[in-house]
Amino acid sequence: MNNNSHAFNTYWSGQVPFIASFAMQQLRQWVSSNDWFSGHDHTPWFEVPRETLDNLQMDYQRQWGQLGQQLLTGQPFNFDDRRFSSGNWNEPLFGSLAAFYLLNSNFLLRLLDRLPIEEEKPRQRLRYLVEQAIAANAPSNFLTSNPDALQRVVETQGASLFTGMMHLASDLQEGKMRQCDSGAFTVGVDLATTPGEVIFENEIFQLIQYYPQSETQYSRPVFIVPPSINKYYILDLRPDNSVVKHLLEQGHPVFIMSWRNFGLEHAEITWDDLIEHGVLKALQLTREISGEQRPNCVGFCIGGTLLSTALAVLAARGDHDIGSVSLLTTFLDYLDTGPISVFVDEKLVAYRERTIGGMDGPFGVFHGKDMGNTFSMLRPNDLWWNYNVDKYLKGNKPVPLDLLFWNNDSTNLPGPMYCWYLRHTYLQNDLKSGELECCGVKLDLQAVDAPAYILATHDDHIVPWRSAYASTAVLSGTKRFVLGASGHIAGVINPPAKQKRHYWTNSRVTKNPDTWFKGAEQQSGSWWNDWFVWLAKHAGERQTAVADMGNAQHPPLEPAPGRYVMQ
């Protein structure tokens, strides 16, 4: 057997092509034909020292030889990659496919790391495209090279293929890859069930006030601005993981906005409209109905950006009456926008402005399903191809998960509002500049002078935690920064009773986020416990809970969750 292994290595050391040079040639052709890289001189990008390429080639051949030995000696593969984790992938044919795929993928990424591309955007874009190609070409994605899917065909006598085609037809009709079946939950029955009333509505939002769930409540209400990209009930999923319900049980009166799912009839709505007739109107009503001038304000994701903008507008008008501000995974300084930055440039923004933004063109809407698909493709193996395999190749129904159901329940955004946001945040990062005008005043986020609780999550690929930390330098009040474990959604929706994950705290807010992290202490469990303690200090006195919803001018219109969230 050793002689066979030696012969195998000798043969392949002479037969393996000059993989490094060949890969460089293919990358060069790919870049030259891609519009994303137009206007650049690509020649210096591929001037990698010959010695570096030779070392990569030698390492590749060494690993190739080791795989050959593994095949000839019948050793099991035991892949760490979960795409190839089942025992079926230890069979020589399928195992060798997976092994050589991983070898080539790793080689290509190592080669990319050695390209002398000085500009960050082209480097990110090239890596994104290569990673997408690598993810798409995994042998697990194809029926004939996926032993688990083939076994499923045999076990079901072909029924899995028919079911998979039905799943594919349904997703094509909707225009999006569903990670949770549309019938898995019903909003108002399984989700968003905390008792409350819609007490106001206009063409932009509904305002929901919730019934108390404690005998006494704090005097200051919690006013919540959810993301406008998805439905508000991410903060009111099921009773055990509902942020709204937990706040009520802690004794906080709660008001929350429910954004409309905008259609073409709302296509002329601007960013200023969402601030003036959305957030500011809802805040005014919260003050009037609660009788408290200084509510505690909470914003999640883009909801936090909208909230902070609205508070800056109020400050410019001389109104600083805010109890506190809590920003959950929110951008104010678009310092590093993570993987999504590969899509955003002047060409894209100008195109959107021409087609849906009303600038020298028609008004339109940005469809939520497009954003949902984009976010999924930022993590192709976790949020895209694994569902392709499970749903289409194996015919399995997705596991019901409330977070993923909400993630698929996206909303449209008015074109002008979306284009303004895209240009002044992701593209130009001048929301924090103090020079922009909004609602007739200069927008100065430094004027938001209230105690602030800023939460980021460590593995967030939508709002990288260091960019969320940058908000500590934007706002003027006292700040507490907390870093939760996990990602953009699961890291935020982490109720204490489940005793899952952990978070980091450091009472000293430093200029550099990494300095903060070095001095931080890891705490077990949910960050909610820390937030509830902080929030109680800004909530006012306890008093008898008031069960009457609305007031004489704004009586209840319909029970929560309301009509808008159903659209």
DSSP letter for 336, please.
Answer: -
How high is the pLDDT of residue 8? 38
Produce one character per residue of 107-144: b if its CB has 16 or more CB atoms within 10 Å, e if not.
Answer: bbeebbeebebeeeebbebbbbbbbeebbeebbbbebe
Distance CA 16, CA 18 (A): 7
Alpha helices in 394-527 (DSSP H): 402-408, 415-421, 465-469, 513-518
Is the model's pLDDT at 566 over the cut of 80? yes
DSSP labels for 53-93?
HHHHHHHHHHHHHHHHHHHHHT-----SSGGG-SGGGGSHH
Answer yes or no: do 132 and 205 share one domain: no
Extended beta strands in 107-249, E state: 196-201, 205-210, 216-218, 222-225
Question: What is the pLDDT confidence band of residue 78, given thresholds at 50, 70 and 90?
Answer: confident
How does pLDDT run across 305-357, given as a tens digit for each residue?
999 999 999 999 999 999 999 999 999 999 899 988 988 999 999 999 999 99
Residues 6+ apart with CB under 8 A from 357: 363, 364, 415, 416, 418, 419, 420
Q: Is residue 375 part of a domain?
A: no
Q: Looking at beta carbons, which pairs linking 372-379 to residues 24 or more positions away fall under 8 Å? A: 372/176, 372/407, 372/408, 372/410, 373/176, 373/177, 374/340, 374/343, 375/340, 375/462, 376/177, 376/179, 377/132, 378/338, 378/339, 378/340, 378/461, 378/462, 379/461
How high is the pLDDT of residue 45? 80
Helix, strand or coil for residue 505?
strand
DSSP letter for 188, please.
Answer: T
How high is the pLDDT of residue 379? 84
Q: Is 33 exposed, middle or buried (0-12, 13-18, 19+ CB in 10 A)?
A: exposed
Helix, strand or coil for residue 200?
strand
Answer yes or no: do 133 and 201 share one domain: no
Q: Looking at beta carbons, which pairs linking 424-431 to residues 24 or more positions away fall under 8 Å? A: 425/305, 425/331, 425/334, 426/334, 426/337, 426/340, 426/341, 426/344, 427/344, 427/345, 427/346, 427/349, 429/333, 429/334, 429/335, 431/305, 431/309, 431/332, 431/334
Q: Examine the residue annotation and report whether 301 is marked as an active-site residue of this protein.
A: yes
Both tokens of 437, joined, read 């005008």
Active-site residue (options: 180, 301, 419, 439) = 301
Residues 6+ apart with CB under 8 A from 206: 198, 200, 257, 258, 260, 557, 562, 563, 564, 565
How high is the pLDDT of residue 389? 96
CA atoms within 13 A on the CB side of 36: 16
Q: State the amino acid at position 291 in one-letter form.
A: G
Overall domain count for the chain:
2
Indicate the residue among 141, 156, 185 that finishes a domain: 141
Helix, strand or coil for residue 503?
strand
Q: Is residue 163 part of a domain?
A: no
Q: Is residue 377 part of a domain?
A: no
Q: Is residue 385 part of a domain?
A: no
Answer yes or no: do 117 and 260 share one domain: no
Mean pLDDT of the chain: 91
Answer yes or no: do 551 and 472 share one domain: yes
Answer yes or no: do 205 and 329 share one domain: yes
Q: Are strands 479-484 and 502-505 parallel, antiparallel or unpaired?
A: antiparallel
DSSP labels for 226-263?
--SSB-GGGGSSSGGG-HHHHHHHHT--EEEEEE----
Are 290 and 255 in contact by the 8 Å Cβ rule? The answer is yes
Q: Which residue has the higher pLDDT, 348 or 371?
A: 348
Answer yes or no: do 234 and 98 share one domain: no
Q: Is residue 486 part of a domain?
A: yes
- Residue 329 structural domain: 196-264+273-338+412-566
Query: Residue 36: enclosing H or E segment and its boundaries?
Result: none
What mean pLDDT is predicted for residues 261-285?
Answer: 96
Answer yes or no: do 282 and 136 share one domain: no
Q: How far is CA 6 from the centre of its chain?
A: 50
Is the model's pLDDT at 79 over the cut of 60? yes
Answer yes or no: do 109 and 214 share one domain: no
Percent of the chain with pLDDT over 70: 96
Is the model's pLDDT at 15 over the cut of 90? no
Distance CA 421, CA 414 (A): 11
Answer yes or no: do 225 and 133 share one domain: no
What mean pLDDT is predicted for residues 8-36?
Answer: 62
What mean pLDDT is predicted for residues 241-267?
Answer: 97
Distance CA 289, CA 281 (A): 12
Q: Is residue 466 part of a domain?
A: yes
Indicate the residue among 123, 141, 159 that finishes a domain: 141
DSSP letter for 397, please.
Answer: P
414: preceding bond cis by omega (within 30 degrees): no
Both tokens of 195, joined, read 């008792």
DSSP letter for 214, please.
Answer: S
Q: Is residue 498 part of a domain?
A: yes
How high is the pLDDT of residue 7? 41
Other residues' Cβ atoms within 10 Å of the Cβ of residue 487: 18
How high is the pLDDT of residue 20? 66
Q: Is residue 359 part of a domain?
A: no
Other residues' Cβ atoms within 10 Å of the Cβ of residue 420: 19
Answer yes or no: do 100 and 30 share one domain: yes
Residues 6+ apart with CB under 8 A from 537: none
How high is the pLDDT of residue 19? 63
Handedness of CA 234, 239, 241, 243 (dihedral sign): positive
How does pLDDT run across 48-77, given as a tens digit for each residue?
888 888 888 889 889 988 888 888 888 888
What mean pLDDT is predicted for residues 415-439?
Answer: 95
- Nearest of 64, 44, 69 to residue 107 by alpha carbon: 64
How high is the pLDDT of residue 6? 44
Are 519 and 510 in contact by the 8 Å Cβ rule? The answer is yes
Q: What is the CATH number of the domain that holds 241?
A: 3.40.50.1820
Is the model's pLDDT at 9 over the cut of 60? no
Answer yes or no: do 329 and 475 share one domain: yes
Residues 6+ apart with CB under 8 A from 538: 220, 296, 323, 324, 451
Enter the pTM of the model.
Answer: 0.91
Handedness of CA 433, 438, 444, 445 (dihedral sign): negative
- Nearest of 368, 446, 427, 400 to residue 191 by alpha carbon: 400
Answer yes or no: do 115 and 215 share one domain: no
Produce one character per residue of 173-199: b if its CB has 16 or more CB atoms within 10 Å, e if not.
Answer: eeebbbbbbeebbebeeebbbbebbbb
- Which residue has tokens 């995994």? 138
